Amino acid sequence: MSKQTDDFFKSIISHAKEYGFVFPSSEIYDGLSAVYDYGQLGSELKNNLKAYWWKSMVQLNENIVGIDAAIFMHPTTWKASGHVDGFNDPMIDNKDSKKRYRADQLIEDKIDRYEKDGKTEKAATLQHDLDEALNNDDLARLKTIIEDHNIVCPVSGTKNWTDVRQFNLMFATQMGAMADGAEQVYLRPETAQGIFVNFLNVQKTGRMKIPFGIAQIGKAFRNEVIARQFIMRMREFEQMEMQFFVRPGSELEWFAKWKETRLKWHLALGADTSKYRFHDHVKLAHYANAAVDIEYEFPFGFKEVEGIHSRTDFDLKQHQEFSKKKMQYFDPEINQNYIPYVVETSVGLDRLFLTVFANSLVHEDLSTEEKQDSRVVLKFHPAIAPVKAAVLPLTKKDGLPEKAREIMAALKMEFSIQYDEKDAIGKRYRRQDAIGTPYCITVDHQTLEDNTVTIRHRDSMQQERVAIDELNTIITKLVGWNNLLKQLI
Ligand code: ATP
């Protein structure tokens, strides 16, 4: 990371904390690694992002329905899905610093360095060797690569490495109070399996016809070997996943469709197209016949925000085998029974939150010849802004606060509104800019005479005078979900 991007990333973390968006978990006890709490504004923003996703999936599509499955699942689920045996990361310890790393990430960092130094051929060979070692689950080879390329521990600077070992990322716990009767269960590492095990329930009770989708938002847990980059890689995080069940043979067409649909969804939030790119998987998971990541350009480079995977019939077939329940669908159009194929879209809510934050945080220089001035603004799309409008009496006297309270009381039935009467009006505007409030409604002396107020627009800082009676309609128009959703169809 260059100094400039490093500073920008630091400013995201400190702004998120200072204004009540994201706090380290249990901070009074010095926090818990890779676990974060969302504060008073962060939880509002997160709720709005969830609503945007849910509406675009479930509300806009007649053939997609949503569920909310439990975090705990029967342990056989994870045998069937392959997570018990295969949800591993290769890890390596440095004996001097006692620090633990993901072996593949150490090598990837080296590839990045080769590329930065213009050693493109070396980078390509190393990438090829890494892919081959990972494909063959060859842990000894990973260690040899690390040694051959003189990869040292960033902390101790030495090459005193342990062997590479597999590390299962699932958190296990005991269910049941009796020690001998307790059963080992897992905190789900993805929400998708809650959808697969409910495939028959939803298909039958909802009389769903293929193609159809099941959507879900919920927590997932992964004991990540190393945690870094703020809410990018957490041990407890939230996913928004949709499994789309299709006729075998049509999956690649649907995969292409979902790939475009999902990119459009991200772009509707207002980011520049150049901030996003597709990254096709070269190395496919054993169950997939196509996979792509949607990557966003974070201050630390392009990284995955969402994965779109054509998972074939792998999951349903596995559950059929382990549960001995038929996971079939009778397709009346072709008069055939089959196990549907699945195209999955899976976006991390926390990573999405970070993209929105990184994309919205702007330091603006407003200096003129007369005076120096600047402001920090969160330019959220109004539909997802945590606070839609602030009601501000110009002064604390002459009946202005009472009038402002009246306006607030009417608007708060529909929108999330803040009231603020402390400090000079300019300072209050800046406070609202810093939390991304798109509109400020100012009540002044003229208000008492003609029942009008000013609306200040966050991005342009322009003000217009409008009638109080019109406020509800105007704000609805400005912050309504259709501003976002209409871009998707
Ligand atoms: P990565 O390669 O970055 O570990 P992944 O390929 O394992 O991610 P998936 O299993 O495809 O991720 O999960 C789908 C989405 O869930 C990801 O695109 C990401 O947005 C989110 N996600 C996965 N792991 C984490 C995590 N530890 N913290 C936050 N979000 C995560």
Domain boundaries, the chain: 3-73+186-357, 88-168, 370-485
* pLDDT greater than 90 at residue 181: no
User: Roughly what angle, to the nearest 10 degrees, separates helices 120-135 and 139-148?
Assistant: 160
Fold held by 88-168:
Herpes Virus-1 (3.30.40)
Ligand 1 centroid to residue 220 C-alpha, Å: 10
For the CA of 303, the nearest atom of ligand 1? 3
How far is it, in rounded angstroms, from Cα 220 to Cα 236? 6
Which of 81, 190, 239 for mutating ligand 1's site (highest number of atoms within 8 Å of CB)? 239
Over range 271-291, report the average pLDDT. 89
How far is it, in rounded angstroms, from Cα 216 to Cα 202? 13
- Topology match between the domains 3-73+186-357 and 88-168: no
CB of 309 closer than 6 angstroms to any ligand 1 atom: no
Q: Beta strands 439-443 and 389-393: pairing type? A: parallel
The pLDDT confidence band at residue 131, using thresholds 50, 70 and 90, is confident
Ligand 1 centroid to residue 185 C-alpha, Å: 22
Ligand 1 centroid to residue 40 C-alpha, Å: 25
Ligand 1 centroid to residue 213 C-alpha, Å: 21
CB of 238 closer than 6 angstroms to any ligand 1 atom: no
CB of 81 closer than 6 angstroms to any ligand 1 atom: no
What DSSP assignment string belongs to 383-435?
GG-S--EEEEESSSSTTHHHHHHHHHHHHTTTS-EEE--SS-HHHHHHHHHHH
Fold held by 3-73+186-357:
BirA Bifunctional Protein; domain 2 (3.30.930)
* pLDDT greater than 90 at residue 400: yes
Nearest protein CA to atom 22 of ligand 1, as residue: 348
**Dihedral sign computed on CA atoms, order 151, 155, 156, 160:** negative
* pLDDT greater than 80 at residue 177: no
Q: Tell which residue, 306, 305, 302, 458, has the closest CA to residue 380.
A: 458
pLDDT per position as a tens digit, 307-339: 999 999 999 999 999 999 999 999 999 999 999
Nearest protein CA to atom 25 of ligand 1, as residue: 233
pTM value surpassing 0.75: yes
Which of 351, 352, 354, 355 for mutating ligand 1's site (highest number of atoms within 8 Å of CB)? 351
List of residues 6+ apart from 228 with CB closer than 8 A? none
How far is it, in rounded angstroms, from Cα 476 to Cα 407? 15
Ligand 1 centroid to residue 159 C-alpha, Å: 29
* Two tokens, residue 29: 């006890």
Q: CA triplet 403, 383, 275: central angle to 5 degrees?
A: 140
How far is it, in rounded angstroms, from Cα 409 to Cα 418? 11
List of residues 6+ apart from 485 with CB closer than 8 A? 55, 56, 60
For the CA of 346, the nearest atom of ligand 1? 14
CB of 349 closer than 6 angstroms to any ligand 1 atom: no
In the CATH hierarchy, which top-level class contains the domain 370-485?
alpha beta
Q: At 302, give phi and psi (nearest 5°).
A: -70, 125
The DSSP symbol for 142 reads H
Residue 220 · residue 188 · CB < 8 Å: yes
Q: What average pLDDT does the structure give for the chain?
A: 95
Name the percent of the chain lying above pLDDT 70.
99
Nearest protein CA to atom 4 of ligand 1, as residue: 233
Residue 20 · residue 39 · CB < 8 Å: yes
What's the maximum distance between 2 C-alpha atoms anywhere in the chain?
81
The count of other CB atoms within 10 Å of the CB of residue 451 is 11
* pLDDT greater than 70 at residue 179: no
Residue 340 · residue 364 · CB < 8 Å: no
Q: Quick one: 425 exposed, middle or buried, by C-beta within 10 A (0-12, 13-18, 19+)?
A: middle
Q: List, as own/partner pairs, every contact residues 107-115 make where C-beta atoms lie below 8 angstroms and the sequence separation is at least 24, other chains included.
A: 107/142, 107/145, 107/146, 107/149, 107/151, 110/149, 110/151, 112/301
The pLDDT confidence band at residue 23, using thresholds 50, 70 and 90, is very high
Q: Beta strands 374-378 and 361-365: pairing type? A: antiparallel
CB of 189 closer than 6 angstroms to any ligand 1 atom: no
* pLDDT greater than 90 at residue 182: no
For the CA of 224, the nearest atom of ligand 1? 27
Instruction: Write down the H helix ranges in 237-348.
Output: 251-267, 314-323
Residue 1's pLDDT is what? Answer: 67
